[in-house]
Structure 1
Amino acid sequence: MGLASLANIDWSEVIIGMVVLLFSLSLHESAHAWMADRRGDPTGRHLGRVTLNPLPHIDWIGTVLFPLLGLLSPLGIFFGWAKPVPVNTANLKNPRWDHVLVAAAGPVSNILAAVAFLLGLRLLIGFFPGELEAGHTVASPLYLLCVTGLFLNTILAVFNLIPVPPLDGSWVLAGVLPNQLGSFFDAIRPYSFMLLLVLFFSGLIDILLIPVLNLVNILAS
């Protein structure tokens, strides 16, 4: 990337995008740690993971490098991940069902965040009709913050609920299915990386995400 390309970048969008990503990933992982602690496993809490401070959650590749490269690339691909919270299921009060709650806590936290950003967005649109997208008001950065937060948290929630290892949805489904069916996920966990590649490059991820994002876009407009 040359100096001319760097000069054309909207750095306010990059900064707001990174702030929202750090918050959203920290919320997701802290929700896992908080629920695990509530259900009897203090491992995450002892590691300082029950916090919205992003530092304990940062994976330098997934939380910093990958999203920055995505934001700065011509494609504008913006995604990332944080360090997973370790869970010792032996400490849980009811290992099978409590693990379902722990796994679901992350995506649920992102759904709640998306709803909060949507409400904030609707309030801004009500106060500044027709002015926000054009950047004609001091509230435009807040508008960008809410839009980014809404769509990013929606993507994180839907993506993590896909029942493919190592995503949260696989742990949720494995816990609610009968034992023989649930063990299927244990059998395919060693192939998690390959499964994720298939998910991305086959277009399946678009089939799952696009209808949800279209609905969110209607709600936000």
Structure 2
Amino acid sequence: MLDWLSKDPRGFLLFMLYRAPAVLIAITLHEYAHGYVAAKCGDPTARIMGRLSLNPVKHMDSLGTICLFLFGFGWAKPVPINPNNFRNPKRDDILVSVAGVTINFIVFLISTLLAVFIGRHLYEIPFDSANIYRFFLDARSDGFTIQLFPEYVDVLMPLLKTPWLIHLQRVVLHSILINIGLCLFNLLPLPPLDGFHLVNQLIFKGKIYMGGKPFRVMQAALMALMLFTDVVSDFVGKAIYFVQGNVLDIMLRLVGI
């Protein structure tokens, strides 16, 4: 990414400009969902501390947001939760943990359906077969990649029936990747991610307490894995492609394509 920024700053900044709405919406809804479900389960902490908000600034973690922009997955500033306020501690901790990833998955599904609809009206090419949809909407295909990058607009222009829609489609494709990326990344069973809380409750009955120094060490280790190795990015990247491609196929069947 840094190499791209140095060689083509305009292309890099345009790419990030289209990605920005997806990132801001994804992290805002993710954290709002945690706080909203916690409040419904009896814990008003997020509301009292001003975090039950749709203002993205309140939920942005500087490093996590940068990772979302650069890698397509990352994290937001965790909403404060006090499990002592839960009516049913085990059940409610699970519900709060899955709230964020659930809303991201829902937005991913909506974005996928929207991309299918836009595709029908965007191109001169008749979208009359599943293979055409896969070429433009499967994240593993060249057609999907070309649509993401503004510098390829000259390649796409002869194919466009409604040129202004390419800008909307570009934002929607980013939304697909960012939301499924945030969902799958947060399901990793590592603190401070949501997957850790799920594993702790479902397998270890909530007996693992991760706070203070051990928590900070694990958080630093996760950041190091993301920033200095390809372990996390390779695993999450493969998961994103697998889930996105299969969900697209299912949706195409559901709409009769």
Q: TM-score range by the shorter chain?
A: 0.7 to 0.9
Structure 2 counterpart of 1:57, which letter? H
Structure 1 counterpart of 2:23, which letter? L
Q: Offset at 1:20? A: 1.2
Mapped contact 1:49–1:56 kept (Cα < 8 A): yes
Over 3 Å counting, the alpha-carbon distance change for 1:185 and 1:164 in structure 2 is farther
Q: Offset at 1:125? A: 1.0
Root-mean-square deviation over aligned CA pairs? 3.0
Q: Offset at 1:196? A: 1.6
Mapped contact 2:75–2:182 kept (Cα < 8 A): no
Q: Offset at 1:60? A: 3.6
Task: Give 5+ residue unaligned stretches, structure 1.
Answer: 71-76
| d(CA) in 2 for partners of 1:147, 1:154 | 11
Matched, 1:177 2:203: yes
Over 3 Å counting, the alpha-carbon distance change for 1:62 and 1:164 in structure 2 is closer
Mapped contact 1:154–1:213 kept (Cα < 8 A): no
| d(CA) in 2 for partners of 1:202, 1:109 | 27
The counterpart of 1:117, out of the listed 88, 100, 111, is 111
Structure 2 counterpart of 1:173, which letter? V
- Relative CO higher for 1 or 2, CA cutoff 8 Å, sep ≥ 6? 2
| d(CA) in 2 for partners of 1:48, 1:13 | 32
Moved more, 127-136 or 81-90: 127-136
Q: Count matched residues.
A: 211
Give TM-score scaled by structure 2 length.
Answer: 0.70
Over 3 Å counting, the alpha-carbon distance change for 1:202 and 1:20 in structure 2 is closer
Residues 36-63 of structure 1, C-alpha deviations (whole Å, 9 max, x = no match): 0000001111222223221221234433
Over 3 Å counting, the alpha-carbon distance change for 1:212 and 1:29 in structure 2 is same
Look up the match of 1:151: 177
| d(CA) in 2 for partners of 1:9, 1:178 | 47
Please identify runs of 4+ aligned residues in structure 1 that moved more than 3 A. Answer: 1-8, 65-68, 77-80, 129-133, 184-191, 197-200
| d(CA) in 2 for partners of 1:94, 1:186 | 20
Mapped contact 1:24–1:110 kept (Cα < 8 A): yes
Q: Offset at 1:4? A: 7.3
Give TM-score scaled by structure 1 length.
Answer: 0.81
Structure 1 counterpart of 2:234, which letter? D
Mapped contact 2:181–2:236 kept (Cα < 8 A): no
Mapped contact 2:29–2:100 kept (Cα < 8 A): yes
Q: Percent of counterpart pairs with the same letter?
A: 27
Residues 85-129 of structure 1, C-alpha deviations (whole Å, 9 max, x = no match): 010111111112201111110111110110011011010112223
